[in-house]
């Protein structure tokens, strides 16, 4: 069976990483896999049998004036139709709302079996186009995957019959034991989205932590020049710049997870935070705001992590301080997390994708 994925890019980001994990897993299981993106650039390693097709070359994307952007939008449709006619996929899978809106009419025109995949909660990125896609266009694909039961129960299930809950898989194999940890609190994410990720508030929280625990460090992993400078300025104003380390983009983030004692998810909202299940798999004691959506479907509060009232900065400060002061609690949460996070392993999530793909292929043959 031939499976073709479509996404804007493979240049970084949670949805891109999920697509790569799923595509690699399907290729390992013997499926023929093709990935189509705007450009051929990729920060991810693809399984050796996967073909990566770019719609545009680098020179075409350099022009950013209005006319060039408008021209590319028109050209995209002609080229993607041509590529799909040549590839003749048995199943087409589109990732992210913006790409889904483009691909759904094309798939209907070409009479292709289509799965579209959402990677944020239904309350995020609200505008007319995303609403129209979710409310009306999403009736047309064979299946729509959403990340959480929260989205399924509170939104999509009210008006769609083709919705499937499909959590993100954990990227790394879980470690076997808890090694010696550094006095480090770790966070990770795209820094230009600092407001979404709550990194600004976390710096204010950490400024209070440092007063009592000056030996502890906050490491912030992630690219984004504008966001990094903005956050550095806050750290400087709070006089904690010596305790805050900006790592930039970290290729082997699992090595940072293995060294950190605590991981904090400070987001104002999420879809299904991959970084949280990654940190848990590598033995971090994890604390998360109970934001919309995802954390409560990953963490069992007090068992394999700590959930804090959404955006309650005082409670977050108390929870972090509690973990700093209680090494036994940190170790207990981390050990339980390593065990419990297996439900999101790529083997198990891969099985769910295979079952969905095979069902659509057989049912609509």
DSSP assignment of 244-258: EEEEES-TTHHHHHH
Q: State the architecture of 182-343 in CATH terms.
A: 3-Layer(aba) Sandwich (3.40)
Burial of 73 (0-12, 13-18, 19+ CB in 10 A): exposed
List the one residue out of 191, 336, 179 whose CA is nearest residue 260.
179
Beta strands in the chain (DSSP E): 2-6, 32-37, 51-54, 91-95, 114-117, 143-146, 163-165, 182-188, 217-221, 244-248, 260-265, 285-289, 306-308
Q: In what order do the strands lie in the sheet with 32-37?
A: 51-54, 32-37, 2-6, 91-95, 114-117, 143-146, 163-165
Residue 262 · residue 289 · CB < 8 Å: no
Q: Whose structure tokens read 């108390």?
A: 318
| pTM of the predicted model as reported, rounded to 2 decimal places | 0.87
SS3 of residue 336 by DSSP: helix
Tell how strand 260-265 and strand 244-248 pair up: unpaired
> How far apart (Å, rounded) are the C-alpha atoms in residues 247 and 235?
14
Q: Quick one: 2-169+345-363 is in which CATH superfamily?
A: Glycogen Phosphorylase B; (3.40.50.2000)
DSSP assignment of 63-80: --SHHHHHHHHHHHHHHH
Residue 196 · residue 268 · CB < 8 Å: yes
> How far apart (Å, rounded) are the C-alpha atoms in residues 287 and 263?
6
Query: What pLDDT score does 296 carry?
Result: 94
Query: What pLDDT score does 351 carry?
Result: 97
The list of the chain residues with pLDDT below 70 reads 125, 364-365
Query: What pLDDT score does 365 carry?
Result: 60
Query: What pLDDT score does 356 carry?
Result: 98
Residue 260 · residue 185 · CB < 8 Å: yes
- Burial code (b: 16+ CB inside 10 Å, e: under 16) for 115-149 equals bbbbbbbbebeeeeebeebbeebbeebbbbbbbbe
Domain ranges of the chain: 2-169+345-363, 182-343
Query: What pLDDT score does 218 carry?
Result: 98
3-state secondary structure 274-299: HHHHHHHHCCCEEEEECCCCCHHHHC
Query: What pLDDT score does 59 carry?
Result: 77
* 35-68 tens-digit pLDDT: 999 988 888 899 999 999 999 987 777 777 888 7
SS3 of residue 360 by DSSP: helix
Q: Do domains 2-169+345-363 and 182-343 have the same CATH topology?
A: yes
* 305-334 tens-digit pLDDT: 999 999 999 999 999 999 999 999 999 999
- Tokens at 353, concatenated: 């994708």
């Amino acid at each position: 069976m031939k499976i073709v994925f479509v996404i804007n890019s493979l240049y970084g980001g949670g949805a891109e990483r999920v697509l790569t994990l799923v595509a690699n897993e399907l290729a390992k299981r013997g499926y023929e896999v093709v990935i189509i993106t705007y450009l051929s650039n990729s920060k991810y390693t693809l399984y050796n049998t996967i073909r990566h097709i770019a719609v545009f070359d680098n020179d075409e994307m350099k022009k950013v004036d209005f006319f060039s952007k408008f021209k590319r939008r028109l050209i995209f449709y002609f080229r993607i139709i041509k590529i799909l006619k040549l590839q003749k996929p048995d199943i087409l899978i589109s990732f992210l709302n913006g790409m889904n809106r483009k691909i759904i009419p094309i798939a209907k025109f070409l009479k292709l079996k289509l799965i579209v995949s959402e990677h944020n909660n239904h309350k995020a990125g609200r505008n007319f186009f995303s609403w129209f896609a979710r409310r009306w266009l999403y009736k047309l694909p064979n299946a729509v995957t959403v990340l959480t039961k929260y989205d399924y129960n509170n939104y999509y299930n009210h008006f769609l019959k083709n919705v499937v809950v499909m959590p993100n898989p954990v990227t790394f194999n879980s470690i076997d034991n808890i090694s010696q940890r550094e006095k480090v609190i770790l966070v990770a994410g795209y820094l230009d989205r600092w407001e979404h990720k709550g990194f600004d508030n976390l710096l204010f929280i950490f400024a209070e932590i440092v007063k009592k625990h000056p030996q502890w460090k906050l490491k912030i992993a992630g690219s984004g020049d504008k966001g990094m400078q903005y956050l550095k300025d806050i750290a400087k104003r709070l006089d904690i710049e010596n305790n805050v380390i900006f790592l930039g983009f970290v290729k082997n983030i699992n090595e940072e997870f293995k060294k950190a004692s605590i991981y904090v998810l400070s987001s104002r909202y999420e879809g299904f935070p991959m970084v949280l299940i990654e940190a848990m798999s590598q033995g971090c004691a994890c604390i998360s705001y109970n934001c919309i959506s995802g954390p409560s479907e990953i963490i069992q509060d007090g068992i394999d992590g700590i959930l804090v009232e959404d955006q309650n900065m005082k409670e977050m400060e108390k929870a972090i301080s509690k973990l700093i002061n209680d090494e036994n609690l940190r170790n207990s949460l981390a050990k339980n997390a390593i065990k419990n996070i297996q439900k999101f392993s790529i083997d198990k999530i891969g099985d769910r994708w295979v079952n969905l793909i095979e069902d659509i292929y057989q049912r609509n043959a």
